[in-house]
Structure 1
Amino acid sequence: GGAMGNQKYEAFLKVAETGSFKEAARELGYTQAGISYLVNTLEREFGVPLLVREYGGAHPTSDGVAIMEQVQDVCNAERRLEARLAERKHLEGGSVHVATFTSTAIQWLPGIAKRFEDLHPAIKLDLTCIDDQNELEEMMWRGDADCGFAVFPVKRDLHMIPLVRDPLLVAVACDHPLAGEGSFPAEALEAEPYVRLESGVYSEMDELFRRNGVEPHVRFTIASDYAVMSLVSAGLGYSVLPGLILRDAPFPLVSMPPEVPTDREIAVCVRSMETASAATRAFLEVTQEWVEKEYRERG
């Protein structure tokens, strides 16, 4: 943290989040007495009690709850202010907090991060992986993440930079009778048991069934793409997964397009280009170039 105000706010938010002065001290690198001092100072300044201290823990008072979001906003704003000042001093430093989901994290981020590090060694990359897209959008909207990957459509009014159309594919076991076919027929989508990936973005899978005019017969619903692949590989049903996830499947599978092909559009987004830091803009630039090159080479 930078300014004194920032530390008091961070201390309060961290105690509220962890429910413990001890845990907050550990995570922020203070002594417990230091955290207490910061929170007490803030309560004196605000003139209201912010935390109820109980044996072994703490939770926010109603006043504390009421102002928490504003305090978070102030912290985010101060962080942006510090980043902007650093830029004005021509430091090629700063940090970029990127929110991502599993498939982009696994398939793209290693390549993008390496390239980014080569070009901008002084900028620190922070990565968070979240598969619930609503939560991911909220992080970018609030400014908790500087930018991130998302799939169209996006509910929040974020600035979107489209990157790639990623096909949705049907995955089956290698010995499945249709494994050799060019596409998976619509009637099979309806007749056969479906292993559904449950994630914040499964509506994109629903689109495939809509376009093929069928209602799937769900046999299992599970929130891990690896678990889904494992069940499919064992012959317990077919699944629908994005091409990006299936690219280096850790289980033997055959994937093919459905009868009516469907894809999803992946974009990288930022709340606004005007307020984006130079470090964030650098990350967006590297991402676009890397993805373009990657897909050009893959053909």
Structure 2
Amino acid sequence: MYDPTRLAALVAVAEAGSITRAAERLGYTPPALSQQLAKLEREAGTALLVRHHRGARLTGAGEVLVARARRVLDELERARHELARLAGLSGGTLRLGTFQTAGIHLLPPVLSAFRRAYPDVELIVADHEPSAGAAAVAAGEIDLAMTHRYEPGDPVPLPSSVGADAIFVEELVLVSAPGHALTSGASRLPLAELAGQPLISMAPDHPGRREVEAILARAGATPSVLVATPGYVLVCALASAGLGLGVVPEMVARTAATPVGMRLLEAGELRRTISVVYRTDEAAPAADAFRALLRGTFARARHT
């Protein structure tokens, strides 16, 4: 029996004409989508796609399977809508609070999947700093909030009516101007190498960054510029301009708007965990469905 997820991948490639464009639409990386398509071809026992320099096109067998796949996926979509009505997901509103990094880089594919599955639920997305997100959920102002915490560091206590699911863990990495000696190596950089280096200090009085800043200070990094409020876009821009080194989440460094050098730090002891916060004292079908999509999306990402 064919996996519906792989059938949807084949249909997406047929419509987009490219594995890369289909991967963007589905929220996969191109290699992960290619793996799903290769598994589908093994299940079918024949080639379904011809790859070429401009993208990909269906073989004769691929055209046959796509025609049938569309019918199967349409029936599954109707079933999802009927089940959504039974589960109380045929209307209403889901209010989601998020900080900037998660809103830009993590949520769009999950929001797209939620909208496809539950088109009748209105989505409201608003900016919420992590420090305020849990309180807003507890107060009933929003249904879910994306938050984060840094390690090492003490976790911020949650209100008694609130729970949290960890969905994504990433390391903090060193960023610099392109070509800087400290970010030119391929191996992990010992923290001792930061001694005497100018540091763009990132909100040292912010509870989430306090322990991170303390470790960098003990390593001997010398503050050269202080960014007093959390803002990684600005930190990367200053590092890119040669005003100092920054230590930021890896996701931020890899998607920086300005060119930066990047290097992993020794031991990987500096990390950021991103979580979704929710109320535990009431039934919330839309919030529960969105949390399940979040967990499924990032569990899949960890295994591809």
TM-score range, shorter chain: 0.5 to 0.7
Partner secondary structure for residue 174 of structure 1: coil
Alignment partner, residue 268 of structure 1:
276
Compute the TM-score of the two structures, normalised by the length of structure 1: 0.63
- Is 1:150–2:152 an aligned residue pair? no
Alignment partner, residue 168 of structure 2:
164
Per-residue deviation at 1:117? 0.6
Per-residue deviation at 1:210? 2.7
- Is 1:103–2:101 an aligned residue pair? yes
The one-letter amino acid paired with 1:154 is V
Alignment partner, residue 219 of structure 1:
224
Contact 2:94 2:121 in 1 (8 A): yes
Distance in 2 between the 1:111 and 1:231 partners?
Answer: 30
Ranges in structure 2 where 5+ consecutive residues have no aligned partner: 1-84, 150-154
Where in structure 2 are the equivalents of 1:132-143 lying within 5 Å?
Answer: 133-143=130-140
Distance in 2 between the 1:214 and 1:155 partners?
Answer: 29
Distance in 2 between the 1:267 and 1:91 partners?
Answer: 23
Match of 2:215 among 204, 210, 216: 210
Compute the TM-score of the two structures, normalised by the length of structure 2: 0.62
Distance in 2 between the 1:199 and 1:89 partners?
Answer: 46
Alignment partner, residue 47 of structure 2:
none
The one-letter amino acid paired with 1:145 is I
Partner secondary structure for residue 181 of structure 2: coil
Q: 1:209 to 1:176 in 2, by over 3 A?
A: farther
Distance in 2 between the 1:92 and 1:109 partners?
Answer: 22
Query: After alignment, is 277-286 or 245-254 more displaced?
Result: 245-254
Report Cα offsets for 1:126-156 as digits up to 9, x if no partner. Answer: 111223x221221112111111111242322
Partner secondary structure for residue 264 of structure 1: strand
Alignment partner, residue 202 of structure 2:
197
- Is 1:118–2:123 an aligned residue pair? no
Alignment partner, residue 34 of structure 2:
none
Where in structure 2 are the equivalents of 1:18-97 lying within 5 Å?
Answer: 90=88, 92-97=90-95
Partner secondary structure for residue 203 of structure 1: coil
Distance in 2 between the 1:97 and 1:276 partners?
Answer: 15
Distance in 1 between the 2:88 and 2:212 partners?
Answer: 47
Contact 1:134 1:200 in 2 (8 A): no
Q: 1:199 to 1:120 in 2, by over 3 A?
A: farther
Report Cα offsets for 1:42-65 as digits up to 9, x if no partner. Answer: xxxxxxxxxxxxxxxxxxxxxxxx
Partner secondary structure for residue 282 of structure 2: coil
Distance in 1 between the 2:210 and 2:195 partners?
Answer: 14
Q: 1:140 to 1:91 in 2, by over 3 A?
A: closer
Q: 1:245 to 1:101 in 2, by over 3 A?
A: same
The one-letter amino acid paired with 1:291 is F
Per-residue deviation at 1:121? 0.5
Per-residue deviation at 1:212? 8.8
Ranges in structure 1 where 5+ consecutive residues have no aligned partner: 1-86
Q: 1:256 to 1:201 in 2, by over 3 A?
A: farther
Aligned residues: 210
Per-residue deviation at 1:228? 1.1
The one-letter amino acid paired with 1:155 is P
Alignment RMSD = 2.7
Distance in 1 between the 2:221 and 2:142 partners?
Answer: 36
The one-letter amino acid paired with 2:202 is L
Partner secondary structure for residue 112 of structure 1: helix
Where in structure 2 are the equivalents of 1:242-281 lying within 5 Å?
Answer: 242-261=249-268, 262-272=270-280, 274-281=281-288
Per-residue deviation at 1:103? 0.9
Contact 2:169 2:273 in 1 (8 A): yes
Alignment partner, residue 240 of structure 2:
233
Per-residue deviation at 1:218? 1.7
